[in-house]
Amino acid sequence: MKKTYLYWLLSAIILGACNPYAHITKMKSMKEDLQYKFPVKYAELSNDLEIAYVDQGEGEDVLLFIHGLGSYIPSWQHEIDILSKKYRCIAIDLPGFGKSDKPNHSGMMSYYATVVKEFVDHLQLSNYTLVGHSMGGQISMTYSLMYPEHAKAMVLIAPAGIEGFTDGQKGWFEDVMTPRLVRLTNTDAIETNLAYNFYDFPADARFMVEDRIAMRTASDFPNYCLAVSRSVKGMLTEPVIDKLGGISLPTLMIFGEQDNLIPNRYLNPGTTKEVALFGASMIPNCKMVLIDKAGHFVGYEKATEVAAEITSFIQVTSKKQTL
């Protein structure tokens, strides 16, 4: 039987409904093809490392945003939209992620901290507050321990590093989180994994799913996969849980109360609130805030509330430092 135009049209509609991501254009390069809301600049650091960053807003106070594992600058766009009206907001792509170079690096938290320090020196930043999400929170804590006199304060948003793991649990993570696993993650798993970061997955966050799917064909994607895998090992190899008492910076810790990632639901009992209270109690000068109906990406999901907490924290911190 001759297949009519109507047949092909209905087939296209059905296939499109079955694959909502059929429209996605494959990437040739993450560095070149990822699209960001804000203009992207580049900092040339040592070893020919080029770090992508955005720089929005003005003001005496600087907020330096450090993203989490597998993430990138756009995860901060809601916070930057709000906070850049009062502060200079700078967000970076860590080496191996987003539009930054993807060298074959160790993934250690101390490595990322030295890169952040070099970036800070390159831009000659002063009076800045570190704002780290998830792995970016652990990097921020590592930074504060390595360079205690540099940053003004620190905001930890659903930070990694305040949850303990046994040697057996660490070995399990390293066995599971291989570059091959990251590389072969299918579309359904990508969508599920990202949705799991939210209490109620917002429609305007779907670009994260689309970007993650599209980047699988990029020439620099294998090194992204390597960075993800090694960063997991880096978080486990260089924990900060036993060093929290040595953090001297004024600190604000924010968690979504329905965080599905912290504590790890497969390995550790307890609630997010219990982990957050423990972490905040171990840092000498720390305020802890729980936000209801919010998940691991609390800064994206509840941007207005988180921005208000950061603004209040910066104001109080600045006032104390001028007394």
CATH code of residue 107: 3.40.50.1820
Indicate the number of domains in the chain. 1
Q: Identify the pLDDT of residue 269.
A: 86
Domain that holds residue 139: 26-322
| pLDDT at residue 235 greater than cutoff 90 | yes
| pLDDT at residue 253 greater than cutoff 60 | yes
The model's pLDDT over 6-30, given as tens digits with 9 standing for 90+, comes to 554 554 444 455 567 778 888 999 9
Tell me the average pLDDT across 200-218.
96
The model's pLDDT over 167-179, given as tens digits with 9 standing for 90+, comes to 999 998 888 899 9
Q: Identify the pLDDT of residue 15.
A: 46
Can you say whether the dihedral through the CA atoms of 320, 321, 322, 323 is positive or negative? Answer: positive
Rounded Cα distance, 201 and 198, in Å: 5
Query: 8: Cβ–Cβ under 8 A, 6 or more apart, which residues?
Result: none
Rounded Cα distance, 37 and 84, in Å: 14
DSSP state of 314: H
Query: 12: Cβ–Cβ under 8 A, 6 or more apart, which residues?
Result: none
| pLDDT at residue 286 greater than cutoff 70 | yes
Tell me the average pLDDT across 141-158.
96
CB 152, CB 128: distance < 8 Å: yes
Q: pTM, whole model, 2 decimals? A: 0.93
Structure tokens that stand for 185 in this block? 């993650």
The DSSP annotation for 7-56 comes to HHHHHHHHHHHH-TTTTPPPPS-HHHH---SS--EEEE-GGG-EEEEEEE
Residue with tokens 């600045």: 318
Rounded Cα distance, 296 and 7, in Å: 45
Hey, which residues does 129 pair with through a beta bridge? 63, 153
Q: Identify the pLDDT of residue 8.
A: 47
Q: Identify the pLDDT of residue 12.
A: 47
Rounded Cα distance, 40 and 92, in Å: 10
Strand ranges for the chain from DSSP E: 41-44, 50-56, 62-66, 88-92, 128-133, 153-157, 251-256, 286-291
* Among 19-23, 164-168, 209-213, the range of highest mean pLDDT: 209-213
Q: Identify the pLDDT of residue 19.
A: 64
Mean pLDDT, the chain, whole residue set: 93
Tell me the average pLDDT across 245-253.
97
| CB atoms inside a 10 Å sphere around CB 186 | 10
Radius of gyration in angstroms for the set of CA atoms belonging to the chain, rounded to a whole number: 20
Q: Is the residue at 191 inside a domain?
A: yes
| CB atoms inside a 10 Å sphere around CB 32 | 11
Rounded Cα distance, 78 and 74, in Å: 8
Query: 180: Cβ–Cβ under 8 A, 6 or more apart, which residues?
Result: 225
Q: Is the residue at 126 inside a domain?
A: yes
Q: Is the residue at 154 inside a domain?
A: yes
What is the pLDDT confidence band of residue 200, given thresholds at 50, 70 and 90? very high
Q: Is the residue at 208 inside a domain?
A: yes
Span of 21-25, 67-71, 91-95, 301-305 with lowest mean pLDDT: 21-25
Burial (CB count <10 Å: 0-12, 13-18, 19+), residue 142: buried
What is the C-alpha end-to-end distance of the chain, expressed in Å? 86
Q: Is the residue at 4 inside a domain?
A: no
Q: Is the residue at 76 inside a domain?
A: yes
Q: Is the residue at 134 inside a domain?
A: yes
Q: Identify the pLDDT of residue 78.
A: 98
Can you say whether the dihedral through the CA atoms of 75, 81, 86, 92 is positive or negative? Answer: positive
Q: Is the residue at 277 inside a domain?
A: yes
Tell me the average pLDDT across 171-198.
93
Structure tokens that stand for 260 in this block? 């599905």
| pLDDT at residue 307 greater than cutoff 60 | yes
CB 160, CB 234: distance < 8 Å: no
Going from the C-alpha of 253 to that of each of 3, 47, 58, the distances in angstroms are 61, 34, 24
Q: Identify the pLDDT of residue 85.
A: 97
